[in-house]
Amino acid sequence: MNGRVDVRRAWTRVDKLKALPPQIEFSFHLSEQEVASASDAFGVNWRRCLVPGLVASALSAVGVIVIIAVQPNWWGIDAADWLGMGFGLTAGSLVIASSGKWVTALRRWIVLRQYRRTPTAQGATTYRIYDGHVEVISDLGSAQIRWEGFLKAQEKSGYLVLYTSPILGQIIPLKHLASSDASRLRELVRERIKSPPVRSFWRRG
């Protein structure tokens, strides 16, 4: 009996939510270019890989020159082995220096592949922003996500992402909103999504 009462209460809350008008409503079709731009904005900051990699490769190259000049036999290791390790460190450092670029390209390829294989992403999407939840509507269905269901939010380069998991989220290009609606949306996000984004070496500052 208590179970039936709880279900009725839950449906009553849902009906009340549906009866309230949204604070913000907007629609757009997320294009491939926007998906790629958002992926780049929230991807690897290649400059953070470039400088350490170049410094390490320069130091390794100096070490190689010293080994060639001195021909050491340190700790029982002959010069040829030291030279091989020096070249290996130089090559590894250059890989680190270039990793930001190819990791960014790989991430973009994965994101675009997921976009192309997601049916709900191929048409227009409508967002209705309420005080207690967000409603996402497409031609193939709809979903209601309470604010507590978002782990974090990030805004960069004109894109707002509402994360429903550590790596997946709703991409919202703010250019599709009126400036007043964009400001109100930012305010609601700050008030409702309490968990700050986790900082990482790989994310852009």
pLDDT tens for residues 5-38? Answer: 555 555 455 545 555 678 899 999 999 999 888 8
Greater confidence (107 vs 123) lies with: 123
Task: Tell the burial category of 75 from Cβ atoms under 10 Å away from its Cβ (0-12, 13-18, 19+).
Answer: exposed
Task: Please list, in sequence order, all residues whose beta carbon lies within 8 angstroms of the beta carbon of residue 79, skipping any fewer than 6 positions away.
Answer: 67, 70, 71, 72, 73
Q: Is the pLDDT of residue 184 over 70?
A: yes
Establish if 133 belongs to a structural domain. Answer: no
Q: pLDDT tens-digit profile of 116-138?
A: 888 877 889 999 999 899 999 98
Greater confidence (80 vs 132) lies with: 132
Q: What is the number of domains present in the chain?
A: 1
Q: Is the pLDDT of residue 62 over 80?
A: no
Q: Which amino acid is at 107?
A: R
**φ and ψ at 202, to 5 degrees?**
-85, -15
Establish if 107 belongs to a structural domain. Answer: yes
Task: Tell the burial category of 85 from Cβ atoms under 10 Å away from its Cβ (0-12, 13-18, 19+).
Answer: middle
Q: pLDDT tens-digit profile of 147-175?
A: 999 999 999 889 999 998 887 788 999 99
Question: What's the longest Cα–Cα distance across the chain?
Answer: 88
Establish if 80 belongs to a structural domain. Answer: yes
Query: What is the distance, to the nearest Å, from the Cα of residue 72 to the centroid of all Cα atoms in its chain?
Result: 48
Which pLDDT score, from 0 to 100, does residue 187 have?
92
Nearest to 138 by CA among 129, 128, 149: 128
Rounded to whole angstroms, what are the CA distances from 137 to 98, 144, 190?
41, 9, 23
Task: Please list, in sequence order, all residues whose beta carbon lies within 8 angstroms of the beta carbon of residue 131, skipping any fewer than 6 positions away.
Answer: 20, 23, 188
Give me the mean pLDDT over the 68-81 stretch: 68
Establish if 134 belongs to a structural domain. Answer: no
Q: Is the pLDDT of residue 83 over 70?
A: no
Establish if 183 belongs to a structural domain. Answer: no
Establish if 82 belongs to a structural domain. Answer: yes
Establish if 60 belongs to a structural domain. Answer: yes
Q: What is the domain range of residue 60?
A: 46-116
**In the block, residue with structure tokens 């409508």:** 126
* DSSP annotation string for 113-149: HHHHT-GGGSS-EEEEE-SSEEEEEETTEEEEEEGGG
- pLDDT category of residue 200 using cuts at 50, 70 and 90: very low
Q: What is the pTM of this model?
A: 0.62
